[in-house]
């Protein structure tokens, strides 16, 4: 009886591990395959602001990718979404200033100061897009974050959502990739 339980437990663990590996591979592949199409609005997800008020390297990479795509004519508006970080800075405000300092016209940058997580960003973006009569968006974030963010946007009934990843890779991405597995299912069943 005990041997049967151990076998079943082993099989269940093997199935779960296999699913983790398959799903994680999907997350990485999906995130690294940019979907570049002309859209109404880019949605740049926030990230840490350093103690000196400057964007972290991750956030700077997202913003630099946004500048590159804006200059190539992929979108008209840029929505910067973030919240008040533990460092005391409003991520969206810091993002807007960074983009403006790099030559992006301030009148095309929209701040979402209540984007404390990807789901809230999706909710806020839906409201803002409705007000602007915008139909399409491009998510700009880290590659491992794209699948879950697209899921959140689809839950807001946004049909035309594309993506592009920031050009940065760090060792801590390994943790972030593994974290996306349970986070994706949390959003799926939300």
- CATH number, domain at 87? 3.40.50.620
CA atoms within 13 A on the CB side of 65: 25
How many structural domains is the chain composed of? Answer: 1
Report the C-alpha gap between 95 and 89 in whole angstroms.
10
Give the residue numbers spanning the domain of 92: 2-188
Dihedral over alpha carbons 141, 58, 68, 136 (to 10 degrees)? 20
Each of the 190 residues of the chain gets a pLDDT tens digit; together they read 677 777 888 888 888 899 999 999 999 999 999 999 999 999 999 999 898 989 999 999 999 999 999 999 999 999 999 888 788 788 999 999 999 999 999 999 999 998 889 999 999 999 999 999 999 999 999 999 999 999 999 999 888 999 999 999 888 888 899 899 999 998 888 7
Q: How far, in Å, CA of 161 to CA of 163, rounded?
A: 7
Q: Write down the pTM of the prediction.
A: 0.90
Q: Which residues contact 94 (CB under 8 A, 6 or more apart)?
A: 49, 53, 54, 55, 59, 82
* pLDDT number for residue 1: 64
């Amino acid at each position: 009886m005990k041997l049967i339980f151990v076998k079943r437990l082993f099989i269940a663990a093997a199935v779960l591990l296999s699913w983790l590996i398959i799903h994680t591979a999907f997350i990485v592949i999906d995130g690294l395959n940019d979907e570049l199409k002309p859209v109404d609005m880019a949605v740049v997800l926030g990230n840490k602001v350093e103690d000196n008020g400057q964007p972290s390297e991750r956030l700077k990479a997202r913003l630099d990718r946004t500048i590159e795509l804006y200059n190539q004519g992929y979108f008209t508006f840029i929505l910067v979404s973030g919240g008040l970080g533990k460092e005391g800075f409003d991520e969206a405000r810091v993002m807007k200033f960074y983009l403006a300092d790099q030559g992006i016209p301030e009148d095309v940058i929209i701040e979402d100061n209540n984007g404390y997580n990807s789901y809230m960003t999706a909710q806020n973006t839906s409201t803002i897009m409705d007000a602007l009569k915008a139909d399409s968006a491009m998510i700009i974030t880290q590659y491992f974050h794209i699948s879950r963010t697209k899921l959140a946007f689809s839950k807001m009934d946004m049909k035309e959502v594309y993506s592009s990843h920031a050009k940065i890779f760090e060792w801590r991405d390994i943790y972030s990739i593994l974290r996306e597995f349970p986070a994706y299912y949390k959003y799926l069943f939300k």
